[in-house]
Structure 1
């Protein structure tokens, strides 16, 4: 494949930027039974995030695909949908959302090596930690937050990208063998299947302030001011094509919403409000605050409190017993307590008339369903 960076960057020879080469790759990969994938995006650098690089490895080759070139990446859809091909990802949640969002691609027969390492009781299950521990390979963490939308790629970025998938299949082979030895392979396959179905929720028509971290601790008037501030920040971010946090931090917005300054003099007293920031955004911020203060009382945002069950004395005692059981089971299995059973599940199991079969995953029923039934009864 011709590439003008090939002479100075050997890794660039593996970068695919034309449709013919991509089609030929897809034709080869369709014959494989195991493939490893990873994605690089630009969520830290642009307002609308997008997939900027796709890495794929078979047991014979490693390739990098540039979706920002004139390519139809959807030619990969049949491979991702083929149940006869196992797709290896590490920490696949974000990748599943991104593939579906940008290309309408859904993944069948996913194996998530991060989930696998968790079910093997690994204390450090990040890809860098696993590759260092199992293969002695160091990943350069500098490029985890790089702007992958920039072209051309540096030689170091391409080297980093190729390392991300080049050892995923050997890692999968190791993890699979260990899971089989522990009788937990089907557990990981079930959890991976659930991750494959994850999609980003639609936010259309939803107030931004209601999904702001800590909103449930804020007063309705503060939320109204916060909503206007979030709108202002969002407009600025969209105009500048940067993520909203690069315009104003969440901590600063919360402080503005709580203190509600009315003029530049009061803005000066706000933590992190530099003179340059006041000069650049002060007028817009004050207008947003005024708009929030003008919202009628009966139109103020209301945070819907999470509906955690109100437990009676018997249920409360059941939950306590279940938590004691969970601690012991977690130690026995060598798994994190949240992996064994989260608090929401325990509270649901303690409710009268709850259906254990409906609440538990298949692997949980297999691993300790009978124990739980006995304990609850």
Structure 2
């Protein structure tokens, strides 16, 4: 029978944060989650941090109490297991906003993936394992708005209510299957992810999906449109996609409208968008079209190394081994070893397990569990 939820305590004072940190510091497991406002503001920020331990649910409001330093030792303590579900965004956000580093992370989503779960979103996992339905009504809410409604508070608290119990079940299953070490290593790597910062002078188009397929002139126009969109988003304090959507930007870069009339019919360009941004868009297009031919940007391309026949056969052998292993383990093949790793192993062509050491991207658990089999698969194809 799953644990019964308790009413969350909303923490808005420095003293409340200190008392919470003291309580959490005595727990072996702490369930964590956070809510941010990335869908609603230009500069996203953490708006709530939720914690659950037996007998206590707490929601810290960072907008009310800025100093979260007392919580940092809890997150950093390697003796306390911090349980998240889908922790990538949370880990990046905690470090970006508060400088918080997480040790002894356990991501229940990664655990589910290594147990072969085909649906590993939290709602699907809780439905399958506990018969609990998560209401996703507030998934896209603006969590920076105050006061929080009762429904928002309940929603925020629910995501962590069952995480510790879920963690216990998943740990037991992973140990039974001999995979607990795999997950712990993956979680330790995940705990080190950070928000990627754009370098000064780095073109914005480098992070735009589909830019690599555009001609140089379209790239010049794309860069100007992206810069315009970013400036306008800052002025309006909204995410850039709320100024102009991705498909709209792509179409503008390709069609290069030079007048307000030519904006008609472009995906996402409504009368309101024309009124609010039309002249700025046209100026951005003109600016991109004015870039001299010799100064046109280009998308950097990595030289694709030519793969010879022997290497291709080794890659095929490793993929065949992986497919067979994944079927027997009932997990997605990519969780055992991704294609880039198999290609790297095929290139190095190790003749022994010792020669696997130093291969980029090869995890210790992969070498420990599958090293001999990988080498054998390669030798069989000689």
Scaled to the shorter chain, the TM-score interval is over 0.9
d(CA) in 2 for partners of 1:270, 1:36: 46
Matched, 1:21 2:16: yes
In structure 2, the CA distance between the partners of 1:352 and 1:25, relative to structure 1 (3 Å rule), is closer
Equivalent in the alignment of 1:180: 175
The match for 1:162 among 150, 153, 157 is: 157
Q: CA deviation at 1:154?
A: 0.9
Q: Hey, what's the Cα distance between the residues in 1 that align with 2:262 and 2:154?
A: 51
Equivalent residue in structure 1 for 2:31, among 28, 36, 41? 36
Q: Kindly indicate whether the alpha-carbon contact (under 8 Å) linking 1:228 and 1:292 is maintained by their aligned counterparts in 2.
A: yes
**Aligned residue pairs, count:** 367
| CA positional deviation for 1:71 | 3.7
Distance 1:139 1:308, change over 3 A: farther
**Structure 1 unaligned spans of 5+:** 1-9
Q: How much is the aligned-residue C-alpha RMSD, in angstroms?
A: 1.5
What CA distance in whole angstroms lies between the structure 2 residues aligned with 1:270 and 1:172? 48
Specify every segment of 5 or more residues in structure 2 that has no aligned partner in the other structure, as ranges.
Answer: 1-5
Query: Is the contact between residue 41 and residue 52 of structure 1 (CA under 8 Å) also seen in structure 2?
Result: yes
Match of 1:320?
Answer: 316
Cα deviations by residue, 1:283-311 (Å, 9 ceiling, x for unpaired):
11110001111112232222122454321
Q: Give a deviation string over 1:72-103, Cα, whole Å, max 9, x none.
A: 11211111111111111111110110000000
Structure 2 residue matching 1:365: 3-state secondary structure: helix
In structure 1, the residue matched to 2:356 is 356
Partner of 2:67: 72
Q: Closer, same or farther in 2 for the Cα pair 1:352/1:23, shift >3 Å?
A: closer
Q: Is the 8 A contact 1:18 1:70 kept in 2?
A: yes
Separation of aligned partners in 2, 1:73 and 1:298 = 51
Distance in 2, Cα, partners of 1:307 & 1:242: 38
1:251 paired residue number:
247
- Report the equivalent of 1:7: none
What SS is found at the alignment partner of 1:143?
coil
Distance in 2 (alpha carbons) for counterparts of 1:267 and 1:148: 34
Distance 1:298 1:153, change over 3 A: same
Structure 2 counterpart of 1:267, from 263, 282, 285:
263
Q: Could you tell which deviates more after superposition, 23-32 or 168-177? A: 23-32
Query: Do 1:47 and 1:243's aligned partners in 2 also have CA atoms closer than 8 Å?
Result: yes
After TM superposition, list the pairs within 5 Å mapping 1:299-310 onto structure 2.
299-310=295-306
Matched, 1:89 2:91: no
1:269 shift after superposition: 4.1
Where does 1:79-228 land on structure 2 (aligned, <5 Å)?
A: 79-205=74-200, 206-228=202-224
Pair 1:287-2:286 in alignment: no
**Matches of 1:310 and 1:146, distance apart in 2:** 49
SS at match of 1:142: coil
TM-score between both structures, scaled by the size of structure 2: 0.93
What secondary structure sits across from 2:342 in the alignment?
helix
